[in-house]
Amino acid sequence: GSKVRALAFVPSFDPRDDGRYLWIGLQNGALIMVDILGRELMEKRTTSHRGAVDFIFRNRNREIWTMDNHGILNIWPVQPKPENYHQPLLKPVRYLITPMLCAVAIIDSIMWTSSGRDISVFHRTEGEMIPYPRIFISKELGDVTNMVLVPFHKSKIFISHNNGTLSVWDITSRKNLYIIQLGKQSITAMESVGERYLWTGYTDGTISIHETRSIPWRTIQQWQAHESSVFSIRANLTAFTQEGSALTVVTADNDGNIGVWDGLLKKYWKEKKMQEYRKEYCVYRDTHVLNCSWNVDAMKPDKLSVGDQENIMEWLSSQNKPDIIAIGMQEMVDLSSKTNTARILLNSYKKTEPLQDTNELLSHRYKLWYEYLSQVIEKIYGVRSYSVIKTEHLVGLFSCIFVKSTEEDRVRQCEATVIKTGLKFMKKSVHGNKGAVAIRFLYDHTSFCFVNCHLAAGQNHLLQRNEDSQDILDSARFGLYPSTFFGGGDLFTHGTDGSQILDHEVCFWSGDLNYRINLGRERVLEHLGNPNKLAAWDALQAQDQLTQQRQKNPMFALYNFTEPPLMFDPTYKYDVGTQDFDSSEKKRIPAWCDRVLVRAADCVVKNTHYRRHEVLASDHRPVSAAFYTKVK
């Protein structure tokens, strides 16, 4: 009648019996020994522990360590005789350690523990556990949640935290070597599987598998495994001793549900092997994509000058008859006015007339631009030459995807999602004044995802922009495709299920990313005044925040995205209606805020142009990027 808190398989003298004898720790402090094969309760001990048994470990196949929340550690030597190898001695060796532990790891005679905000390391001797000086966790790390050892990294211990970070420590020096940001959610469960793979579980029920041999880590799979928080991940490490068995990984959530997964990742390796033979079983077609982005600064299309209308036509026709035209716009309403932004966002809480007025304003603005863009596309390419397959919006963001009408039948399963990264309450984004709109679909047998972003503004808000990018990747969720849909498992990267942005084979990431140039205004203007434009752009791009993050920060969310060279002047900030950089009191530093990036997994994607366009109606210049890709 007591809740199970911990379990572990006892080493067996005969390898065929590995996984047969199970120890179970209970909430009431009892220990139960069970013979799974014989379905027999072998022994129950109620006096070994005073509190809940939170941890059970097998150490070097010679001992079982059991720990309770009162700080009692019992070490049970395993009998050397074959006939009772699975049974412990009658009396364990007992030690007193830190109570109320939340994470433990054992390395031979060394034990690492944590109660949340500190780390305690003990050295086991014949009669006692000798503590090393206690280590206090730095502010950038959240509370400790798990500790694991990864065999490939023999001198390191991996510690997860409740703010999505993972810290890596040297076992001998007990010093933090580096920190890896895996996301924003608490890492609630963690397990090393095989030599180099780390499985992590999260509060939203997702599980990720990371390849840890080199930095940046490669996330080879991520999926929605549970509906509630994952609290345990355990691998059957004895599986390789059993003929014909697989390496099974068992996960459990807070609702008591169990998941059983293939720890050998056979589906992943099968998919990877199939990639080598794609040319033999796939037919490829050439496809051209035009990605257009513009922060319109709340401009309405009916206010555009004749010259701006001509430049918008050039913007949307910068590639000759593309198969796909993706348009992303930002600041459809005035977000620079704090009063106006507050009014829009605060009214979203009130089911009153102001809310209705706000919604009508936004809907009317989206409609105006949708109709205008459709008219321009029709004027450029001809009546009914293109069809709109999807539109989506989020406060100031608006996305619209056009596809050639002759190609429309090649599009399947189009879907959109929105992600808010703006004003936060209790560290959670609740408003959409900043964020992203993501639209995904299948084009023939290739998966595409277009992300239109507006990230945090401000010269010095680099870390917030990085966090916004990570939040978008972590939070965006699409519906799952049926497992048999349109041919099966190679629709997405590495056998993933298509529920997240990076599952898709071709991802475009564009918008007002707001990354700035790390130079003073006068120095930037001096470079821009250089008649040798190539030298000026090279010098400024070396100080561009986004370029630096992509080149030097392996933990950056967009690290694996690529961007064509910036062969044009900065796109921000201009006096509206002129070619003059900001002359207001703030005199903002010119920057390439408006960008287009791409990430292609196992696909051929080549950039054919990347440029800005001279529409003067906004304080930003629109950009376009054209790509050629082979679609399977």
CATH number of the domain that 347 lies in? 3.60.10.10
Q: Residues 376, 229: one domain?
A: no
Q: Is residue 518 part of a domain?
A: yes
Among residues of the chain, what percentage have pLDDT more than 90? 58
Contacts of 197 (CB under 8 A, 6+ apart): 209, 210, 211, 212, 220, 265
Question: Of 326, 506, 324, 486, which Cα lies nearest the Cα of 407?
Answer: 324
pLDDT at 357 over 50: yes
Q: Residues 222, 304: one domain?
A: no
Among residues of the chain, what percentage have pLDDT more than 70? 85
Among the candidates 43, 71, 96, a domain finishes at: 96
pLDDT at 370 over 60: yes
pLDDT at 353 over 50: no
Q: What pLDDT does residue 147 have?
A: 96
Q: Residues 324, 255: one domain?
A: no
Q: Residues 139, 90: one domain?
A: no
Q: Residues 89, 108: one domain?
A: no
Q: Is residue 247 part of a domain?
A: yes
Among the candidates 96, 119, 154, a domain finishes at: 96
Q: Is residue 276 part of a domain?
A: no
CATH number of the domain that 36 lies in? 2.40.10.480
Among the candidates 65, 96, 127, a domain finishes at: 96
pLDDT digits (tens, 9 = 90+) for 261-273: 888 777 666 766 7
Q: Is residue 280 part of a domain?
A: no
**Widest Cα–Cα separation across the chain:** 93
As for how many domains the chain has, the answer is 3
Question: Of 176, 240, 164, which Cα lies nearest the Cα of 202?
Answer: 164
Q: Residues 473, 538: one domain?
A: yes
Q: How far is CA 84 from the centre of its chain?
A: 48
Q: What pLDDT does residue 343 have?
A: 52
The domain containing residue 299 runs over which residues? 285-631
Q: Residues 88, 106: one domain?
A: no
Contact of 581 with 573, CB cutoff 8 Å? yes
pLDDT digits (tens, 9 = 90+) for 571-583: 999 999 999 999 9
Q: Residues 109, 80: one domain?
A: no
Q: Is residue 293 part of a domain?
A: yes
Q: Is residue 39 part of a domain?
A: yes
Confidence of residue 82 (pLDDT cuts 50, 70, 90): very low
User: Model-level pTM?
Assistant: 0.70
Q: Residues 428, 521: one domain?
A: yes
pLDDT at 373 over 60: yes
Contact of 199 with 209, CB cutoff 8 Å? yes
Token pair belonging to 223:
């999926």
